[in-house]
Chains A and B, each alone.
Chain A
Amino acid sequence: MTSEAVDPVEAVGHIAPASDAGFLQRFGATIEYILIPGAALAGALVVFGIFVALFGKNPFDLYFYMYRGAFGTWFSWQNTLTRAAPLILTALCTALPAQLGMVIIGGEGALLIGALSATSAALVMPSAPPLAVQLAMAAAGMIGGGLWIMLTGALRQYRGVNETISSLLLVYIALAILNHLVEGPMRDPASLNKPSTREIGAANMIGSIPGTEVHWGLVFGLIAATVSYILIYHTTFGFAVRVAGGNIRAAKIVGLSVGKLVLTICFLAGACAGLSGMVEVAAVQGRTNANLAAGYGFTGILVAFLARQNPLAVIPVAVLIGGIGASGGLLQRRLGLPDASVLVLQGIIFVFVLASDALYGRIGFLKGR
C-alpha cells in the first residue's frame, strides 16, 4: 500500500497485448478483481497523501505511521484484527441481501438487538455452565438480529416498503428499545451514572483466541464469510438467490419462491450482525449499555460496498478498514492530524473504489475475453 502502484491505463503499454490470450481469457476477470481495487486503493492513498501535504505534513511520514500503526508490529496486527472482527459480520448484513438486489443498511440495529437478546439469554440462566450460556447467547443473538432484519425483508416483500429506508429507521427504533430497557426494566440498580444491564459474569465471557488478544469474533467472522460465500456461489439455494437478484420476474416465471428467499437471506444477514452484537457483549463489554452503539453496523456498509458485496472479499476489506482505524490513533499522536482525517481517507477510498467500477471490462489488455 504505497504510492508506486501501477496505473492500470499506463500499464497497458508495457504488456504486449494478446501475447497469452488463453491465460488472460481464463484469469482476466480475477486479475481485474485484484488490479482495479488495488489501483483504486493506491490512488486513494496518493490523493490522501496530497491532502495531508496541503496541511504541511510529510506524506511519507504518513505512510510510515499508517503502516506501523496497522501492520508494523505484532501489537498493531492484533489491534487491526480486533477492529476488523465486528466489521466482517456487520458487512455480511449488507452483502448477503445485496445478492438479491436489496440494499440493507440497518446492520447496526440488528447488532443492538442481537446484543440485547444475548444479554437477556445470559441473565435468565445465571447458574448454567458457561458453555451452555455462551451457546444460548450466540443463538439468542443470531435469532434476535435475524428476526430484526427479516422484519425489513417482510415489509419489502409483502408491503412494498423500501428496504433501505426501513432498515435505517429500524436502527433508531432498536436504539430506542435498547435505551428504554437499559435505563428501565433491565437496569442494574448499581449502574448509577452509566445505565447498564447486569453483567453476564466473568465466567461466561468467551475470551480471546489462544496466543493472541484478538477475540473469537474474528473466527466467527471468517467462518460466517466463508459459509456465506459457499452458500451464494456453490449451492442451488445461492443460485436461486442470484437469479432472483438478477431478474425477479424471470425468477418468478421459473417458479422460485421469491418471498421465501427474501426472508431467509434477510434472516441470515441479520443473524450475522446479531452475532457480532453477541460477541461485543460476551468478549468485550460484559453487559449491554449505550456503548454498544459504536457504529460497527454503519462501517460494515462501507466494507460491504468496498468488497463489491462479495462475502469472501469482505474479509480483506474489513482488515484494511480495521487497519486504517488502528493507525488513526498514531496519525493523531505523531502527526497531530485530527481524528476526522481517518474519515477523510475512508471517504476517498470509497469514492475511488466506486468510481473504479466503471473500469471493469474496459482495460485494453484484459479485453481478450
Chain B
Amino acid sequence: MDFSSISRRRLLQGSAALTLGTALGARSAAAADTTIGFIYVGSRDDYGYNQAHAAGAAVLKKMPGLKVIEEEKVPETDAVEKTMESMINLDGATLLFPTSFGYYNPHVKKTASKYPKVRFEHCGGLWTDKDPKNAGSYFGYIDEAQYIAGIVAGHTSKSGKLGFVAAKPIPQVLRNINAFTLGARLANPKATTQVIFTGDWSMPVKEAEATNSLIDQGVDVLTCHVDGPKTMVENAARRGAFVCGYHVNQAPLAPKAYLTGAEWNWEALYPKFVKMMASGEGIPNFYRGGLKEEIVKVSPYGPAVSETARKHADEVKAKFMATGLTIFKGPLVDNKGKTVIAAGTERGQKDPELEKMDYLVEGVIGATA
C-alpha cells in the first residue's frame, strides 16, 4: 500500500503507458512466450474440482517459456466464449484449458472453429471426430482411485456403513459410487454405501445436511462427488467420522479424519501436454487414462489407516499400475436384484457401456431417480 506513489507524475506515467500499451498491445502479446489460458467455473481455491486444475496450472507457471493466465468463476454461457476470445485477442493465448464440463457444447466447439490456430483442451472427454480438429478432450478414470479408497474405507469402518454425498445421478457419479462400494466390499463383504444426491454440483447447505443425516444413521466413513468436498470433509470430521477425499487432497482440512482420497493428477498431465505440443507431435484429440497413465492418483494414507488396509490397498494399486484391473465385471447385480453385467463379461475402462451407467450396484442404498 503506497499512496504517495499516486502522484501527478505517476498519473502522467500512467497515461503514457496507456498510449504505449494500446500501440504495442498486440505486439507484446505475440512476442512473449507461449501463453496458456486456464478457465475455471468456480473459485480456484475451492479444495475441489477447480483447485485440482489450478494445481496443474501452477506447475506450468514454473516451466520456462510459458506464461499462464487464469480466470475463475466463468459461467457456462456465452461469457466463456468471450473469455476464451479475450484470452486469444488481448493476451495472445495459443493453448486454452476451459476446464468445466459444460463449457464444451456449444461454447468450445464454436470458438474452436472460429480460431483454428489456437489449441483447445477441454476436460470431460466429449470430443468426437465430427468436432474441430484443434479441439481435444481429456479425462481420467478416477473410479480406479475410488475403488482403492473404497478398500480403505471398508477396512476402517466399524459399523460397515459408508456414506456417499453425490451431486447428480449421472453416469460419471454413479461409476464413482459403484467403484467405491465394490472396493469396500472387497474389504468387508457386508459393507453398504448409503448415497444421498443433493441435486447440483455446489450445494453447501444440502451437503452439510446430507453429511449430518448420514452420520445420524450410523455411517462412520464418508466420501463424496460434488465440486467442493470441503463442506462434507469438515462437517464429518467435526462429528468424529472418517472421510475419503475427492478431486484434491483434503488432508489439511481434517488431518486426523482423512483416510485417503481419489485425486486428479493434472500436475502430471499438463506438463506432458505442453511437451507434446513443443515437440510437434501434438496432443491426441481424445486422451484418457487412469492410475497407470498418471491422470488420477490416490492421496497418501492418513494416520487412522490400519496396516491391513494399507497392504490390501497397495496390492490392488500395484495391479492397476502393472497390467490394469477390471473393476466392472460379471456377474454384477444392481441394488434391485437385476443382473447388469452377465457372468463372464468384463467391462474394461474403455468400454462405452460404462459411459451409460444408470444403476447402483448391490450394497448401495439409494436410488437413481
Contacts and interface: CB of A to CB of B under 8 A. Distances in A.
Nearest to B13: A60
Given A83-B82, A284-B78, A195 B170 contact: yes
A179 B102 CA distance: 15
B275 interface: no
8 pairs of A and B residues whose beta carbons are closest in the complex: A60-B14, A339-B73, A291-B76, A294-B75, A333-B69, A79-B82, A294-B77, A284-B78
B147 to A, nearest CB: 20
The B interface is mostly helix, strand or loop, or mixed, namely helix
B82 A333 contact: no
Contact of A183 (B5, B86, B168): B168
Contacts of B91: 333
Interface in B129-179: 168, 170-172
A294 B76 contact: yes
Contacts of A53: 1-3, 6
Interface stretch (A64-72, A240-248, A256-264): A64-72
Given A284-B77, A339-B43, A193 B170 contact: yes
17 contacts: A53-B2, A58-B5, A58-B6, A58-B14, A73-B89, A79-B86, A192-B356, A195-B170, A215-B78, A284-B78, A289-B102, A294-B76, A330-B90, A332-B70, A332-B71, A332-B72, A339-B72
Contact of A333 (B1, B87, B369): B87
A108 interface: no
Nearest to A295: B75
Contacts of A286: 106
Q: Which one of A60, A179, A195 has the highest number of Cβ atoms from chain B below 10 Å of its Cβ?
A: A60
Contacts of B11: 60
Interface residues of B, number: 47
A286 B106 CA distance: 8
Contacts of A76: 86, 90
Interface in B75-110: 75-79, 82-83, 85-87, 89-91, 101-102, 105-106
A354 to B, nearest CB: 25
A79 B85 CA distance: 9
Given A68-B90, A183-B168, A290-B200, A194 B101 contact: yes
Nearest to B170: A193
A285 B43 CA distance: 23
A200 B250 CA distance: 42
B18 interface: yes
A15 interface: no
A69 B22 CA distance: 12
B314 interface: no
A83 B79 contact: yes
B315 interface: no
A128 to B, nearest CB: 22
Interface of B: 1-3, 5-6, 10-11, 14, 17-18, 21-22, 25, 43, 69-79, 82-83, 85-87, 89-91, 101-102, 105-106, 124, 168, 170-172, 199-200, 355-356, 369
The A interface is mostly helix, strand or loop, or mixed, namely helix
A333 B70 contact: yes
Interface string A285-326: 110011110110000000000000000000000000000011
A337 to B, nearest CB: 11
Interface of A: 53-56, 58-61, 64, 68-69, 72-73, 75-76, 79, 82-83, 179, 183-184, 192-195, 215, 280, 284-286, 289-292, 294-295, 325-326, 329-330, 332-333, 338-339
A182 to B, nearest CB: 11
Contacts of A325: 79
B356 to A, nearest CB: 6
B187 to A, nearest CB: 29
A184 B102 CA distance: 19
Contacts of B69: 333
Contacts of A61: 14
B1 A56 contact: yes
A75 B199 CA distance: 37
Contacts of A83: 79, 82
Q: Which one of B25, B79, B170 has the highest number of Cβ atoms from chain A below 10 Å of its Cβ?
A: B79
A291 B369 CA distance: 21
Nearest to B43: A339
A331 to B, nearest CB: 10
A239 to B, nearest CB: 38
A185 to B, nearest CB: 12
Contacts of A183: 168
Given A79-B86, A194-B170, A332-B72, 7 more contacts: A64-B14, A68-B22, A69-B86, A194-B105, A290-B102, A291-B77, A330-B86
A78 B21 CA distance: 20
Contacts of B172: 193
B6 A59 contact: yes
A60 B6 contact: yes
A333 B71 contact: yes
Given A82-B78, A286-B106, A332-B72, A192 B355 contact: yes
B90 A73 contact: yes
A192 B83 contact: no
Contacts of A333: 69-71, 87, 91
A291 B6 contact: no
B106 A285 contact: yes
Contacts of B89: 73, 75
Contacts of A179: 199-200
A76 B25 CA distance: 14
